[in-house]
Amino acid sequence: MRFCRWTLSLFLFPLLPISALFAQGPASNTPAVNFGALEHWRQAVLAGDAAALQSMYSTQPQVTVKGPIAETQGADEELHFWKDRKETGLTALTFDDLDVKSDENGNKRAIFQAVLTSQLATGKSRTWYVMAAQLWQNQAGTWRIVQVMRGDIRRLEQPMHAHMNHNLYPEDADAQAELKQALTQAAKQNKRVLLVFGANWCYDCHVLDLAFHHPDLQPLLEKSYVVLHVDIGRADKNLDLAQKFHVPLDKGVPALAVLNSDGSLLFSQRDGEFESARSLTPEDLEGFLEKWKP
């Protein structure tokens, strides 16, 4: 059985070997601490002010930057990343789930999801999301970044641990009984049933669920589908349902199937198309929902 690429904890805490930046846990729901240095950093990114931005990264010691693929010393890779965002039309930068805490050494640890809005050449705007963490150190009265962790840039919002529905796939649910109810409801409301095979440990399952609740997608989903989450446990639950609807769970989860209200199969995910939900775009999901709606 191939599980999601990361469990929740591995996604949120991928870099513990180089520091304890995430050691205090994921971002919380508490109000963000007012930290002026972080706001100055945000403004420098938005302004495309390379000199101001560079001055915020430590040189003694050199800042450590851990990206999705490699770890580097010095600010060059980090500066290049944000320069690219500005050159591709960045117009807004906000922080989602911002959490700022002080550690025992007086450093500031900031964890956030950067929400980036870019203006396209067509005049349309597009939103991107980046998970990031920064460790700030007070160096002779000036706050500078000494460590950075940054995830891939994504088109779908990446849920932080504190805001996840940790009972998205109830362990005590009777999937067979729930399917019967879903089909009855779909028949009455002229909808189709969207089966989502997954588990609470699967990060991409939570990414997909958050995307389905986005204001641009939720109305389409609610109008056309009855959604049923089917718990696969540790690849040891509801395997009969997956087999019945030709969903190969060894290709990964989340895995989807679309049923007519009479229970007949319209679509089944055969090649792990949704397994890496975090890499999808809103347009991908909208196109899928539009294609299989009644």
CB 169 within 8 A of CB 205: yes
**How many C-beta neighbours within 10 Å does residue 184 have?**
12
Q: Is the four-CA dihedral 186, 192, 197, 200 of positive or negative sign?
A: negative
Q: Is the peptide bond before 61 cis (omega within 30 degrees of 0)?
A: yes
Note if the pTM is more than 0.95: no
CB 237 within 8 A of CB 165: no
165-212 pLDDT, tens digit each:
888 999 899 999 999 999 999 999 999 999 999 999 999 999 999 999
Ranges 16-25, 92-101, 117-126, 197-206: which has the least confidence:
16-25
For the chain, the first-to-last Cα distance in angstroms comes to: 33
DSSP state at residue 264: -
Enter the tokens of residue 160: 């932080």
Selection from 227, 147, 237 nearest residue 195 by Cα: 227
Q: Which CATH number fits domain 175-292: 3.40.1160.10, 3.40.30.10, 3.30.413.10, 1.10.560.10?
A: 3.40.30.10
CB 127 within 8 A of CB 89: no
Residues 237 and 248: their CA atoms lie apart, in Å, by 13
The full DSSP string for 152-186 is EEESS----GGGS-TTSS-TT--HHHHHHHHHHHH
pLDDT for the residue 162: 58
Q: How confident is the model at residue 163 (pLDDT cuts 50, 70, 90)?
A: low
Question: What are the sequence ranges of the domains in the chain?
Answer: 8-155, 175-292
**How many C-beta neighbours within 10 Å does residue 8 have?**
19
Q: What is the mean pLDDT of the chain?
A: 88
Q: Where does 8-155 sit in CATH, by number?
A: 3.10.450.50
Q: How confident is the model at residue 69 (pLDDT cuts 50, 70, 90)?
A: confident
**pLDDT exceeds cutoff 50 at 23:** no
Selection from 136, 53, 41, 146 nearest residue 93 by Cα: 41
Within 13 Å and on the Cβ side, how many CA atoms surround 193?
A: 24
CB 6 within 8 A of CB 203: yes
